[in-house]
């Protein structure tokens, strides 16, 4: 009897190479068009400022306030207390884990030991600082877990100070 030879012995394999090619092409496409790293949001609260009668004469104890001036070239100048008779500083430091961070941590401990209350950090960006500096210092506040900090406007004598130290 004549048998039909319809290739029953042929292997059922399919060549998958074009399929893999296509899959990798699509993967590449999706990888390039996806923005996997979604941006993060840092919340900032500014002091209320529409009170016309009082400017910013918030009375705070000198021994609890650390004023941080953001200068040019990624430099910070800090002092403790009032500018006329600072309790410490003014000193120029950089950003990051070897710059301002140990200073704030040390001050936080000292203030806590001396007064039993937390440190107040006042951030004053100068006109020559950039946006990254502002984010860096705010991030630093989050890292050291500082409870009280605010962003204020820089004053003329402070700009003079920055100029004298060559960071304006």
Partner 1 sequence: MPKIKVKRASTTIDMTAMCDVSFLLLTFFILTATARQPEPLPVDTPASTVQIKVPDANLGTVTVGGDGKVFFGVAGPNVRMRMLERMSEKYSIGFSQKEKERFSLMEGFGVPIGNLKQIIAMDNAERNKPGLQPGIPTDSVGENPSQLHDWIIAARYATKELNNEEMRVAIKGDSKEQYPSIKKVIDILQGQKINKFSLVTNLRTEDYGD
Per CB under 8 A, residues contacting partner 1 are 13, 15-17, 19-20, 23-24, 26-27, 30-31, 33-50, 70, 94-99, 101, 125-136, 138-139, 142-143
Query: Shortest gap between Cβ of 142 and partner 1 (angstroms)?
Result: 6
Query: Shortest gap between Cβ of 111 and partner 1 (angstroms)?
Result: 22
Tokens of 68: 């941080």
Tokens of 30: 């999706």
Q: How far apart are the C-alpha atoms of 49 and 30, rounded to whole Å?
A: 47
Pairing of strands 65-70, 120-125: parallel
Nearer to partner 1 by C-beta: 5 or 98?
98
Position of tokens 């946006």? 131
Query: Shortest gap between Cβ of 51 and partner 1 (angstroms)?
Result: 12
Nearer to partner 1 by C-beta: 91 or 115?
91
Residue 123 contacts residue 150 (beta carbons within 8 Å): yes
């Amino acid at each position: 009897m004549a048998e039909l030879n319809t290739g029953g012995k042929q292997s059922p394999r399919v060549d998958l190479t074009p399929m893999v090619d296509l899959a990798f092409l699509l993967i590449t496409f999706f990888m390039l068009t996806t923005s996997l790293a979604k941006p993060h949001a840092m919340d900032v609260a500014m002091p209320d400022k529409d009170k016309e009668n009082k400017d910013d004469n918030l009375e705070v104890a000198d021994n609890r306030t650390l004023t941080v001036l953001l200068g040019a070239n990624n430099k910070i100048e800090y002092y403790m207390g009032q500018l006329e008779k600072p309790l410490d500083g003014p000193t120029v430091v950089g950003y990051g884990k070897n710059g301002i961070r140990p200073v704030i941590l040390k001050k936080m401990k000292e203030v806590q030991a001396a007064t039993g209350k937390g440190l107040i950090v006042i951030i004053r960006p100068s006109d020559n600082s950039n946006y990254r500096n502002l984010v860096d210092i705010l991030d630093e506040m989050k890292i050291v877990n500082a409870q009280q900090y605010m962003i204020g406007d820089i004053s003329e004598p402070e700009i003079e100070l920055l100029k004298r130290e060559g960071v304006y």
